Every structure is written in C-alpha cells, then in structure tokens.
Amino acid sequence: MSRAPKILVFDSGLGGLTVSVEVARLLPDAQIIYAADNAAFPYGALGEYALVARVLAVTDRLISLCGPDAVVIACNTASTLTLPHLRAKFPEIPFIGTVPAIKPAASQSRSGLISVLATPGTVARDYTRELVRTYAAHCAVTLAGSRVLAPLAEAFMQGKNVSDAALAREIAPAFVMEGDPRTDCIVLACTHYPLLLRHFERLAPWPVAWIDPAPAIARRTGHVLREHLGFLGSNTSSAAPNYVVFTGALAAGPELMEALRLRGIGKVVIEPMPLEDLTLTPH
C-alpha cells in the first residue's frame, strides 16, 4: 500500500479516543476517522442481540461512508460480542478488537492481587472470566463493575464538573487488602476510563499500576497494516485530516472541541443513525 491508510476507530461514545490517540501516535501517516455511536450510548443498556445488531448496522453505514482500510473496535463490550459477526460480514476488512488487559496485569503484579475495573456487562461476560482463568489463575482477581464511570467520563470530556466523591466511590471496590498484600495492578477494561486516569491517580487510596490497553491496540493495528495491507509507512504526510463522526445529536461546546483538537481531531460530522431506525439482523 503506497497511499496513506484510513483507519476507522469505533466506540459507543468518546472512550475510544484513548485508543485513537495511540494509533495516531504510532501511525502518523494514517488518517484516523473516529466514530462515536452516541445515539446508542451506553451500550450496556442494550441486550446482547440488540447490541450485535446495532454495531453491525452502524459499522455497515460507516464503512460505506468512510471506506476504511482497517477498523478498530475500541470497546470491550462490542469486541467480545460482535467481532465474529463483523469479520464474517466484511471479510475484506481487517478488524482489531479490544479485550481486558488481564494478561499483562497478571504478569506485572507483585502482590498477586489485581482488579479489573469495567462495565457490568464486561464483568459478567464469560469471555472476561475465561481470560482470568487462562492468564491470571495464579492471582486473586477482583472484577469491579461500574455503571456510572463511562457517563462520568463523557461528562468530563464535555467540560462538566465530575464529583470526586462519585469517582472515589466507583473505584473503591477495585482496591483490595488481604492482610499485608494489597491490589497493585488495576486493568482499565473500558476505553472511557483512561480519560479519567488523572482523577483515579489522585483519588486512589494507594498507588497502583493502571493498565491501559490502548498502546497494545495501536501496536496490533500497526502489525495488521503491515501484514495484511503491506503498509510500511512513508516520509510524506499524505493522509487527509482526522475527523470524528457522531451518530446522534451533539452539543459540541468549546470544551469538547478543545478536547478533540488536543487529540488531533479538528472536524466534527453528524451522521444521524437513530437507534430505533437502524437495525440489522446479525448472522
């Protein structure tokens, strides 16, 4: 591939920006098209069948609009449920998913106490528990699900005040002491959560390693572009400007626009995809 590749990074809201920033840093020649399915946010409110149908339908529309060379599903919930369906429907496009970074946390932990801070859906998913059994059987793993951290991260990105007390309450279950040993690694198993990392570090009852999967996802994306598309990079800045697509109405105030600009995105596109109007039967 001689031209600059297009990479579609997709999430239910703004959380996947944590991934798109790392992809852009690693692959500066690529054009990043960030898609936030804010019309259906949060995905945890959808049943599994409805979520698969929604992601398939929105991805179908986005691929038609953007023509990406690769798609990053920057959402743990969507990845664990929809990747097989997406790869079957779009066999010509490589998909890169997001999974809880349990393996690196288990390898890094010295205390043997690690926690997975996630959404309730990710905590309940068999896929997550299988990752624990496979990679962290030698650790004591706490699965801490929060319904409000992702919405709080969305509010923070839009310049709204976020309560320290609310954040402290939500992260508290991830901090465990068993005598002297205590949690030393916490997996951020929702891409929204690194948006609040500075708050977490400040409010944590003791220092821990916060494991963000975004750098690993970016490396995997680079590998896919090299192996599947033959992209080796270039010395020219030939990529078109990065932009973001929202599927629902958005009050893009100055705080959000500045947050997007700081992440390399200068243009906002609204492409309405109402939840009730856009459905597709998964196969």
Residue percentage of the chain with pLDDT more than 70:
94
**Does residue 221 carry a pLDDT above 60?**
yes
CA distance 43 to 64: 22
How confident is the model over 209-222, as a mean pLDDT?
96
Strands 31-36 and 243-246: parallel
- Of the candidates 115, 101, 118, the one whose C-alpha atom is nearest the C-alpha of residue 206 is 115
State residue 282's pLDDT score: 45
Task: Convert the pLDDT of each residue in 30-59 to its tens digit.
Answer: 999 999 999 999 888 888 899 999 999 999
Q: For residues 238 and 159, which has the higher predicted lDDT (pLDDT)? A: 159
Catalytic residues: 75, 190
Q: Could you tell me the two tokens for 12?
A: 């239910």
Task: Convert the pLDDT of each residue in 116-164 to its tens digit.
Answer: 999 998 998 899 999 999 999 999 999 999 999 999 999 999 999 999 9
Residues 6+ positions from 214 with CB-CB distance below 8 Å: 18, 19, 21, 22, 191, 194
Task: Convert the pLDDT of each residue in 155-204 to its tens digit.
Answer: 999 999 999 999 999 999 999 998 889 999 999 999 999 999 999 999 99
Q: For residues 266 and 228, which has the higher predicted lDDT (pLDDT)? A: 266
Q: Could you tell me the two tokens for 179?
A: 């005598």
- List domains and CATH numbers for the chain: 6-98+214-270 (3.40.50.1860), 102-211 (3.40.50.1860)
CA distance 80 to 98: 8
Q: Is 115 helix (H, G, I), strand (E, B) or coil?
A: strand
What do you get for the CA distance between the two ends of the chain, in Å? Answer: 31
Q: What is the CA radius of gyration of the chain?
A: 19
Q: CB of 270 within 8 A of CB of 250? A: yes
